[in-house]
Amino acid sequence: MVRMADMEQVLYRRIKGKDRKHKMKKILVVLTGGTIGSKVENSVINVSESSPYRLISMYEELYGKQEEFEVIQPLNILSENMTPEQLLVLLKALNEIEYEKYSGVIITHGSDTLSYTSAFAGLLLHHVPVPVVLIASNYPLGQEGSNGLNNFARAVEFVREKAVTGVFTLYQDNAGINQVYLAARITEAEPFNDQFRDFAGLSFGRMEKGSFILNTGKGLPSIQEVEKEKQAVLAVPDSFQNKIMVIRPYPGMDYSVFQFNEKNKPAAVLHYLYHSATACLSGEENNLLSFVERCKSMGVDVYTASYKRVEGNKYATGDALLKAGVIPLLNISLEAAYAKLMLMYNGEALDVPGKINQNVYFESVEI
């Protein structure tokens, strides 16, 4: 059964896009390598000079030359090898694109760090006038079960339909649903089933039969909210020289292993917490409070995430952390929090703690 909300959104897009199809411009494809740009030789998957362009060739062989593509390739790496320096190369290339020249931009990427690059792209490009879609592949193109070509084809449809202006990540799940995520909300794929998920629990929408269908639920914005005209908030920095240390807790975490000094210290620490916004505060080496005090004594800000709220009832451990002066981040994924801190600490933001919880591109889920 088709929901009324789905029918309204399909009608909205058809009316919106019916006069635009004859004005279809080129689609810019940004290749970065990854599994979607790899081939298999002697049972080893790796990138090569020719394999990235195979994607467009396979698409045109199956669907014909309906669109005109322009291709750039700032990187050609397996995404697990993404360093801050290489990420900066990609972000600078994306920043230099004249978006109004294209109907949309499709970024091919490796799946391992797709959620991180998605977060950076969402925070930086949410204001551009065309759809920007990141895609990946579970297996190399041509291999049985690969969803890479499907993801590219659905991304082309998304751009062709001019479904929504903004930054999105599109990926077919194991149930065959072509999920469309807000780029700043997608989280890392699960190791066992290779499935991505949305931080809010439900993706922004899905592609069905060439059309985008909006999901509706708690914490999800409307198409109109996503498309509301925006201004750039964050900028691509000159460098990522100010490092962000990321820590995730586990039983037995020994904070004494994290040693840094005045000459070699992070600009800030992002300490992700258990789901109840808690961490261990007992013992000596295992006590987060001791680590927080050490960081504060060296002028290193400590951010903790993710909190549903900071008012009202709290666990004693979470309350103690807030009283110790940690800076709470609300309803945000680790990837988006990391990207936001990296951009702000290496940019022109003068009051990062005071501005960090300002929503840029729906990265903080409103509940």
Give me the CATH number covering residue 58: 3.40.50.1170
Of 349, 179, 160, the closest CA to residue 268 belongs to 349
Q: Tell me the Cα Rg of the chain.
A: 21
Examine the domain organization and report whether 323 and 214 are in the same domain: no
Has residue 233 been placed in a domain? no
Q: What is the pLDDT of residue 307?
A: 93
In a domain, 80, yes or no: yes
CA-based torsion, 103, 78, 85, 249: positive or negative: positive
Percentage above 70 pLDDT, the chain: 88
Residue at 239 is within a domain:
no
pLDDT tens profile 174-207: 999 999 999 999 999 999 988 999 999 999 999 9
CA–CA distance, 363 with 67 (Å, rounded to integer): 32
**Statement to judge: residues 209 and 81 lie in one domain:** yes
Same-domain check for residues 140 and 41: yes
Domains of the chain: total: 2
Find the range with the poorest average confidence among 12-16, 111-115, 153-157, 251-255.
12-16
323 with 197, same domain: the answer is no
CATH number of the domain encompassing residue 339: 3.40.50.40
Instruction: Say what the pLDDT of residue 50 is.
Output: 60
- For residue 52, name the pLDDT band (cuts at 50, 70, 90): low
Looking at the structure, do residues 167 and 315 belong to the same domain, yes or no? no
- The span from the CA of 207 to the CA of 291, in Å, is 46
Task: Report pLDDT digits (tens) over 21-30.
Answer: 445 789 999 9
**In this structure, are 176 and 267 located in the same domain?**
no
* Residue with the larger pLDDT of the pair 19 and 200: 200
* Residue 136: band (very low, low, confident or very high) from pLDDT cuts 50, 70, 90: very high
Looking at the chain, the whole-number percentage of residues with pLDDT higher than 90 is 71
Say if residue 171 is in the same domain as residue 294: no
Arithmetic mean of pLDDT, 279-296? 95
pLDDT at residue number 23: 59
Query: Tokens 């009832």 correspond to what residue?
Result: 313
139 and 196 inside one domain: yes
Q: Specify the pLDDT at position 1.
A: 38
> How far, in Å, are 111, 140, 144 from residue 194 at the CA level?
9, 14, 15
Asked whether the predicted pLDDT for residue 14 surpasses 50, the reply is no
More confident residue, 238 or 310: 238
Q: Is residue 220 part of a domain?
A: yes
Decide if pLDDT at 20 tops 50.
no
pLDDT at 11 over 50: no
Same domain? For 207 and 82 the reply is: yes
Domain-located, residue 238: no
Are 211 and 248 members of one domain? no
Say whether both 217 and 265 belong to one domain.
no
Task: Provide the domain limits for residue 308.
Answer: 244-355
Could you tell me if residue 232 is inside a domain? no
Q: Are residues 196 and 267 in the same domain?
A: no
Residue 366 within a domain: no
Mean pLDDT (the chain) is: 89
Average pLDDT over residues 220-243: 93
Confidence at residue 232, expressed as pLDDT on a 0 to 100 scale: 92
- Which DSSP category does 155 fall into? H
- Asked, for residue 361, whether it belongs to a domain, the answer is no
State the average pLDDT over residues 223-248: 94
Please state which of the ranges 58-62, 103-107, 246-250 shows the lowest mean pLDDT.
58-62
Query: How distant is the alpha carbon of residue 219 from its chain centre?
Result: 17
Predicted TM-score of the model (pTM): 0.91
